Amino acid sequence: MPAKTPLRLHNLGIGSLHGVDLTVAPGEIVCLSGASGSGKSRLLRAVADLEPHDGEVTLGDLVQGRVPGHRWRAAVMLVPAESQWWAETVVAHFPPEHRLDLTPIGFDDAVMGWSVSRLSSGEKQRLALARAVARQPEALLLDEPTANLDADSIRRVETWLQELIRERRLPVLWVAHDQAQIERVGRRHFRLRNGTLEQA
């Protein structure tokens, strides 16, 4: 079962961003926004332990700097804006034991047999979210997870994600630009500005 514990950032710094202190509660979505180049994606990569950074990140008793990187990233999982696909078929990217229902985001079971080469950018984005959730992470870092989707798909994905996050009590950092989306999904909203995190 996922850990029902908060994700905490203490005095985190990366690039021009510094002194970030933030606690994300289990089941809470905290939205991040900011101008291009303000450090949103780099902040998520720091939390995922994918770039060197200052400060400390913890998930309950799990301390980022005290566990192997792969163990941390399995627990605190980043879904980047542009997903990577390394095998020919969709099914090869999912854990074999997964029982995730994908109908809420527009797929039936046949999608597992699809070739990755036939996927549109929107399909890749939805399936990248699904494969992350299927791996049972304990926290999620979402970098513009609906950027390539049409309005109908955006609402479906938002609803699906919100239900999963609530049921599994996952702490979530969600980078978004659309103010309407931020108001729909976020419990709190912070802007990255001038190297600091400001509550909106």
**Residue 44 in contact with residue 51, Cβ under 8 Å?**
no
**Residue 36 in contact with residue 63, Cβ under 8 Å?**
no
Map out the domains of the chain with their CATH numbers: 7-199 (3.40.50.300)
Mention every residue, 6+ apart, whose C-beta is less than 8 A from residue 137. Answer: 2, 74, 75, 76, 77, 170
So what's the pLDDT on residue 99? 85
So what's the pLDDT on residue 3? 47
Q: What is the 3-state secondary structure (H, E, C) of 133-168?
A: HHCCCCEEEEECCCCCCCHHHHHHHHHHHHHHHHHH
Q: Is 86 helix (H, G, I), strand (E, B) or coil?
A: coil
Q: Which of 6, 9, 26, 5 is nearest to 169 (CA)?
A: 26
Strands 54-59, 196-199: pairing is unpaired
So what's the pLDDT on residue 170? 97
Q: DSSP assignment, residue 49?
A: T
Q: Where are the beta strands (DSSP E) in the chain?
A: 7-14, 17-24, 29-34, 54-59, 62-63, 76-79, 139-143, 172-175, 188-193, 196-199
So what's the pLDDT on residue 190? 97
Q: Is 6 helix (H, G, I), strand (E, B) or coil?
A: coil
Per residue of the chain (200 residues), give pLDDT as tens: 444 799 999 999 999 999 999 999 999 999 999 999 999 999 999 999 999 999 999 999 999 999 999 999 999 999 999 999 999 999 999 999 888 999 999 999 999 999 999 999 999 999 999 999 999 999 999 999 999 999 999 999 999 999 999 999 999 999 999 999 999 999 999 999 999 999 98
Tell me the backbone φ, ψ of residue 37, rounded to 5 degrees. 85, 5
Interatomic CA distance for residues 57 and 45, integer angstroms: 12
Helices 121-134 + 151-168 axis angle, to 10 = 10
So what's the pLDDT on residue 98? 85
